[in-house]
């Protein structure tokens, strides 16, 4: 009995409390930087595409909304096309976790409503941004042992020069 | 001073229905306030036109009668629910000069009679829908409302004994010295609880019970027929508040302000209390509800009657 | 013309009574029964007994009939019951009792007409609740007490039926 009255009184006091909700279109809610929203493809600090078309994101995706095709140029792999169907995407972030090159990232933006469903299919031009996203200094090809123009084998960071198998010196 | 009867009836009807419509918005705003959020605040200043928008929407919705339903009774049920509430207002005296039948010598009994008839609206809706959820809701409503009508009737008897009359106006006039909430505090509490149960409002909305029965007795209703149940519920809240004011809070009496304003203020405060009950309290289980009624409220109201009778006899002249 | 409300209410009551008997769906019959009780309340009101009228609505139309509806709802009557009800409506079944009842009605009318007219008051006296109460606890106090005995007996038997027989299972709280 007393508990019920106390409940009533405490609820009544909530009249003076600050509201926890915000009026959305006027006041944008503060989103944390690791919020899982729209998916983007980032570039490395040199301005090249980070994505190496390894297909891990497409495999990890539980709803199979990612589709891409590999292409190759000067030893660098890159996606020929990269397509995300956002009408299927559930924003789980598995693709981001699977990505070995930090290319695919989820960013705090969720305002992507469309009147037509086909408009929610994003192509590579729509996904690719010009910046590095959440990892400003990381460049996959600078740490990987792959040979690309301007960087021969053994010239990557923390990489020893390759062993010359033709020499007999120890 | 007295206005002609058609004017009184028309104004009362208009105010009542307008108020019920307005309450659908007001309740949501108030719930929002008490639950640390906004309510509907988009349509019009502060969202006040939300009720109008809802009304337009509900009028243009498809008014679907399920093919398995009993057509006649299905259509009749919401009308009964609405009508009984509106009829009950006939005997509520707003001021000494403004009431439809505040002088009726069986006024209070008339209210109880109409409450009893109001059960049909819910029960028949549940039966006519011919679906399991609706039927369960209707059965719960029948048992709940009949039980609580008993306590409601018994709790007001204290007031009747003190006044010596069933006439609503006499009851108000008898409170010119002391409001009945002081000597009849037990009766007032029982009446409030019974009133909540009688209008099947939260926390006693077991006939609807969204999380177990879908929407209970109005599961199959759509369009304006659903709107009618909705409005009848809000009109019922206003009715119970007005009755509480009339029976226990001195009706239109109060210092300085005009009587009609006093009546409105008291009723409004009680409506807010009803909404606070909804904002704060969880719904009890059905057997808890019945146990509360028969094991606590019934003895309390009987005790109230006995005590009132004894005191009246002790103070009786001669 | 003060008889007009009385006549109207009686007409409604008679029509409703006819409908109660002829409906095939039990709930429809019950609804007409409610209408019948309401019009009876109207008759009481027209005869100057508002207290009795209100009690008629509260107790009969409001409480007893709701319990009837409640029970009918629980019975889950279907199409077969409706058809059986229709079958009972065949003229061969009801025509005999109906003719006999008409004869009885005619006999009643003749007898009533033969009786000497009592001096009815010209103006209708409305008996308020106060007068009813004084009468109940004055000359008729014995019948009130007897009725309360009956109710007590009913209460005890209801308690007996509803008691927890094996002591197992939680009390349901149903009365």
Question: To 10 degrees, what angle do helices B107-129 and B223-248 make?
Answer: 160
DSSP per residue over B201-234, as a string?
Answer: -TTS-TTT-HHHHTTGGGTT--HHHHHHHHHHHH
Which ipTM value was assigned to this complex? Answer: 0.81
Backbone dihedral angles phi then psi of residue A31, each to the nearest 5 degrees: -105, 135
Has residue C92 got a pLDDT over 80? no
Distance from CA of A156 to the nearest CA of B (A): 55
Alpha carbons C100 and C93: distance in angstroms, whole number:
13
Indicate the pTM of the whole model.
0.81
> Tell me, what's the pLDDT at B22?
87
Q: How far is residue B17's CA from residue B7's CA, in Å, rounded to a whole number?
A: 15
Separation of alpha carbons B106 and B91, rounded Å: 9
Instruction: Find residues 29-68 of chain A whose CB sits inside 8 Å of chain B.
Output: none
**A8: alpha, beta or left? (left if phi > 0; alpha if psi -120 to 50):** alpha
- CA nearest neighbour of B289 among B166, B186, B198: B198
pLDDT digits (tens, 9 = 90+) for A92-149: 999 999 999 999 999 998 888 899 999 999 999 989 999 888 888 888 888 888 888 8
Tokens coding A167: 């020499």
Give, for all 318 residues of chain B, the pLDDT tens digit: 567 778 888 888 888 888 888 888 888 888 888 888 888 888 888 888 888 888 888 888 888 888 888 888 888 888 888 888 888 888 888 877 777 777 777 888 888 888 888 888 888 888 888 888 888 888 888 888 888 888 888 888 888 888 888 888 888 888 888 888 888 888 888 898 888 888 888 788 877 777 777 777 888 888 888 888 888 888 889 999 988 888 888 878 878 788 888 888 888 999 998 988 888 888 888 888 888 888 888 888 889 999 988 988 888 775
pLDDT at C120: 62
Band of pLDDT at residue C174, cut at 50, 70 and 90:
very low
Report the residue from B35, B36, B38 with minimal CB separation from A23. B38
Q: For chain A, state the CA radius of gyration.
A: 24
Burial of residue A115 (number of CB atoms within 10 Å: 0-12, 13-18, 19+): exposed
With CB atoms and an 8 Å threshold, state whether B34 touches A14. yes
**pLDDT of amino acid B2:** 66
On whether any CB of chain A is under 8 Å from the CB of B37, the answer is yes
Q: What subunits touch chain A, counting only 3 or more CB pairs under 8 A?
A: B
Contact state of B36 with A7 under an 8 Å Cβ cutoff: no
The answer to whether residue A18 neighbours chain B at the CB level (below 8 Å) is yes
The predicted pLDDT at position A64 comes to 92
> Of A75-84, B172-181, B205-214, C22-31, which gets the smallest average pLDDT?
B205-214
Q: Residue A75: which region, alpha, beta or left (left: phi > 0; alpha: psi -120 to 50)? A: left
* In chain B, residues 257-276 whose CB comes closer than 8 Å to chain A: 276
Q: A26 CA to chain B: closest CA distance, Å?
A: 12
Q: How far apart are CA A153 and CA A157, in angstroms?
A: 11
For residue B85, give both structure tokens.
């509430």
Alpha carbons B229 and B125: distance in angstroms, whole number = 10
What phi and psi, each to the nearest 5 degrees, are found at residue B105? -75, -5
pLDDT at C117 over 70: no
pLDDT band at A84 (very low <50, low <70, confident <90, very high): very high
CB-count exposure of residue B35 (10 Å: 0-12, 13-18, 19+): middle
Q: What is the C-alpha separation between B89 and C30, in angstroms, rounded?
A: 27
CA distance A32 to chain B (A): 21
Residue B298: CB atoms within 10 Å = 18
Closest CB to A7: pick one of B32, B41, B281: B281
The topology under which CATH files domain A29-134 is Alpha-Beta Plaits (3.30.70)
C175 to B124: CB separation less than 8 angstroms, yes or no: no
CA atoms within 13 A on the CB side of B86: 22
Token pair for B182 = 């002081």
| Residue B7 tokens, joined | 């004017």
Cβ atoms < 10 Å from Cβ of C127: 16
Find chain C residues with C-beta within 8 A of B75's C-beta.
none
Q: What is the pLDDT of residue A96?
A: 92
A16 compared with A105, residue with greater pLDDT = A105
Residue B141 β-bridge partners? none
Instruction: Tell me the mean pLDDT in the region C139-145.
Output: 90
In this complex, the residue of B37, B277, B280 whose CB is nearest that of residue A19 is: B37
Torsions phi, psi for B170 (to 5 deg): -65, -40
- C chain contacts of residue B138, beta-carbon cutoff 8 Å: 73
- Report how far Cα C101 is from the mean position of its chain's Cα atoms: 20
Of C97, C63, A158, whose CA–CA distance to B147 is shortest?
C63
Per-residue pLDDT for C167 more than 70?
no
A23 interface with B at CB cutoff 8 Å: yes
Whether A42 contacts A98, CB under 8 Å: no
Q: Write down the pLDDT at residue C175.
A: 43
Domain ranges of chain A: 29-134
Mean pLDDT of C55-64: 85
| Res B318: pLDDT | 57
């Amino acid at each position: 009995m007393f508990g019920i009255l106390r409940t009533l009184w405490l609820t009544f006091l909530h009249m003076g409390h600050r509201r926890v909700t915000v009026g959305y279109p006027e006041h944008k809610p503060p989103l944390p930087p690791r919020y899982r929203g729209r998916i983007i493809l980032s570039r490395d600090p040199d301005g090249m595409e980070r994505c190496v078309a390894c297909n891990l994101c497409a495999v990890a995706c539980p709803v199979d909304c990612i589709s891409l095709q590999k292409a190759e140029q000067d030893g660098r792999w890159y996606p020929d096309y990269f397509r995300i169907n956002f009408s299927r995407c559930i924003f789980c972030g598995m693709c981001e976790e699977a990505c070995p090159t930090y290319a695919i990232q989820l960013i705090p933006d969720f305002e992507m409503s469309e009147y037509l469903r086909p408009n929610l299919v994003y192509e590579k031009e729509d996904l690719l941004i010009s910046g590095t996203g959440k990892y400003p200094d990381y460049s996959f090809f600078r740490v990987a042992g792959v040979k690309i123009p301007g960087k021969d084998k053994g010239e990557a960071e923390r990489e020893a020069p390759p062993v010359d198998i033709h020499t007999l010196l120890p | 001073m007295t206005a002609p009867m058609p004017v009184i009836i028309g104004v009362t009807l208009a105010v009542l229905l307008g108020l019920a419509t307005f309450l659908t918005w007001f309740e949501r705003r108030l719930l929002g306030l008490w639950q640390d959020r906004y309510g509907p605040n988009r349509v019009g200043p502060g969202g006040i036109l939300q009720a109008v928008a809802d009304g337009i929407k509900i009028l243009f919705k498809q008014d679907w009668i399920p093919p398995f339903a009993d057509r006649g009774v299905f259509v009749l049920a919401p009308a009964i629910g609405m009508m009984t509430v509106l009829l009950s207002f006939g005997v509520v005296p707003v001021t000494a000069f403004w009431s439809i039948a505040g002088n009726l010598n069986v006024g209070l009994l008339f209210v109880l009679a109409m409450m009893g008839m109001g059960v049909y609206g819910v029960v028949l809706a549940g039966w006519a829908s011919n679906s399991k959820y609706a039927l369960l809701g209707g059965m719960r409503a029948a048992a709940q409302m009949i039980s609580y009508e008993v306590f409601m009737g018994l709790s007001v008897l204290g007031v009747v004994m003190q006044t010596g009359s069933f006439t609503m106006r006499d009851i108000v006039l008898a409170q010119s010295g002391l409001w009945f909430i002081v000597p009849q505090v037990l009766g007032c509490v029982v009446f409030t609880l019974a009133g909540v149960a009688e209008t099947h409002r939260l926390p006693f909305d077991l006939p609807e019970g969204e999380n177990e029965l879908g929407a209970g007795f109005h599961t199959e209703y759509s369009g304006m027929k659903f709107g009618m149940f909705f409005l009848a519920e809000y009109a019922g809240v206003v009715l119970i508040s007005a009755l509480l004011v009339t029976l226990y809070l001195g009706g239109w009496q109060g210092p300085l302000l005009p009587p009609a304003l006093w009546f409105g203020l008291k009723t409004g405060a009680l409506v807010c209390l009803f909404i606070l009950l909804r904002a704060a309290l969880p719904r009890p289980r059905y057997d808890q509800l019945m146990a509360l009624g028969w094991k606590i409220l019934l003895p309390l109201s009987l005790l109230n009657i006995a005590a009132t009778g004894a005191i009246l006899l002790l103070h009786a002249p001669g | 013309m003060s008889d007009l409300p009385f006549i109207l209410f009686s007409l409604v009551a008679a029509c409703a009574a006819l409908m109660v008997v002829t409906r095939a769906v039990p709930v429809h019959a019950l609804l007409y029964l409610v209408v019948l009780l309401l019009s009876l309340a109207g008759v009481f009101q027209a005869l100057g007994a508002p207290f009795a009228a209100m009690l008629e609505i509260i107790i009969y139309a409001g409480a007893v009939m709701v319990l009837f509806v409640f029970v009918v709802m629980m019975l889950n009557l279907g199409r077969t019951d409706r058809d059986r009800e229709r079958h009972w409506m065949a003229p061969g079944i009801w025509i005999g009792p109906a003719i006999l009842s008409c004869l009885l009605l005619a006999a009643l009318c003749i007898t009533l007409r033969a009786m000497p007219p009592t001096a009815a008051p010209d103006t209708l006296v409305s008996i308020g609740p106060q007068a009813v109460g004084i009468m109940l606890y004055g000359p008729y106090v014995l019948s009130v007490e007897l009725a309360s005995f009956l109710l007590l007996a009913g209460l005890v038997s209801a308690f007996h039926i509803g008691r927890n027989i094996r002591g197992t299972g939680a009390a349901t709280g149903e009365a």
